[in-house]
Structure 1
Amino acid sequence: MSCKVQAFKMLTSARKKLMKNLKDLQRDPHPPPGISAAPEENNILLWNAVINGPEDTPWSGGTFKLTLRFAEDYPFYAPKVRFVSRMFHPNIYEDGRICLDILEDQWTPGLSRVESILISIQSLLCDANPDSPVNSEAARLFSENKREYNRRVREIVEQSQAVV
């Protein structure tokens, strides 16, 4: 098989997988609560998503925007996921990139459903890993001063409500 044919199959495979995922999301009578996602109008490889903060957590009431950028080699490689909304979290970089094992070294093609990715990110909000921080200030407050950490999170939640 030539390289051109192989590349075309990969391109087709990624786009077909994303189209199927979109159809499944649209048909789901019980979508995951607090999560929504859809591709850009003319680009199935670029998705916009919204995650609501989990109830009964400091993130509750927040509405956080993200982008998911898929490559032609998807689902063999994880998408590049980034919060567009401002965040304050031990495992989220200031520029919105997310430090999460399933988006890095623990990615498998079986995790490729968009809603599964977003559910994992939503869970990360209240299940921070301060031992592997990318935001040292958030990690320090999370570990040493939970009250101040929660206050800062509530500020982010209020800002997210003003933007929506």
Structure 2
Amino acid sequence: MGTPLLFKASTADRRFCADQELKNLQDEPVEGFRITLVDESDMYSWEVAIFGPPDTHYQGGYFKAQIRFPVDYPYSPPSVRFLTSMWHPNIYESGEVCISILHPPINDSQSGELPSERWNPTQNVRTILLSVISLLNEPNTDSPANVDASLMYRKWKDSKGADNEYAEIIRSDI
């Protein structure tokens, strides 16, 4: 049995994918998001304006994030990083978003994630944006990137909203 084939998108393929995705998102935007290029000469770095989803602690907020595409996109996931301060169980202090869909498509039995939950080339920026909205609605406290925010969110949820510390920290960032 030979060496497994490694797929690597050519620069033209990668640019075509990014161009197509940007065009699709501009033609049919995802509610609550606006996407622009950081620099017109760099198709692989996008700025995302995220409007806090209704009926969440983030409602009324305006958050900036950046999506960066790797050299082998769409075979590897882009990265998503908030540029504005975000207090959330699944967002690192650096702003990096930690969700399964953004994890490389490897079989990692230690992660607790199924391979089907990880990135695959059929995913796209639209599915990432929908995952971010889902995350803002309902954090995953089983796999926190920010342990303090996760503990505080659990305390808030267990108190059925009586403990306002979690909500107050979020509101102070908005």
Using structure 2 for the length normalisation, give the TM-score. Answer: 0.79
User: Displacement, 1:121?
Assistant: 0.9
Superposed, 1:1-164 pairs within 5 Å as: 10-28=10-28, 31-39=29-37, 40-105=39-104, 106-112=118-124, 114-146=125-157, 147-157=164-174
Q: Deviations over 1:79-113 (max 9, x none)?
A: 0110001010111000101110000140011112x
Instruction: Answer whether contact 1:36 1:49 (CA < 8 A) is retained.
Output: yes
What is the aligned-residue RMSD (CA, Å)? Answer: 1.6
After the TM superposition, which parts of structure 1 deviate over 2 Å for at least 4 consecutive aligned residues? Answer: 25-28
Rounded Cα–Cα distance in structure 2 between residues aligned with 1:96 and 1:104: 16
Q: What per-residue deviation string (whole Å, max 9, x for no partner) do you get for residues 17-72 of structure 1?
A: 111112222223xx221111122211001111111111011110011101111022
Which structure ranks higher in relative contact order (CA pairs < 8 Å, sequence separation ≥ 6)?
A: 1
Percent identity, aligned pairs only, is: 39
Q: Which residue of 1 is the match for residue 107 of structure 2?
A: none
SS in structure 1 at match of 2:122: helix
Contact 2:30–2:129 (Cα < 8 Å) also in 1: no
Give ranges in structure 1 of 5+ residues lacking alignment. 1-5, 158-164
* Structure with greater proportional helix content: 1
Number of residues paired by the alignment? 148
Aligned with 1:109: secondary structure?
coil
Matched residue SS, 2:65: strand
One-letter amino acid of the counterpart of residue 110, structure 1: T
Q: Is residue 82–residue 95 contact of structure 2 (8 Å, CA) maintained in 1?
A: yes
Match of 2:109 in 1: none
TM-score of the pair, normalised by structure 1: 0.84
Unmatched tracts of structure 2, length 5 or more: 1-6, 105-117, 158-163
SS at match of 1:44: strand
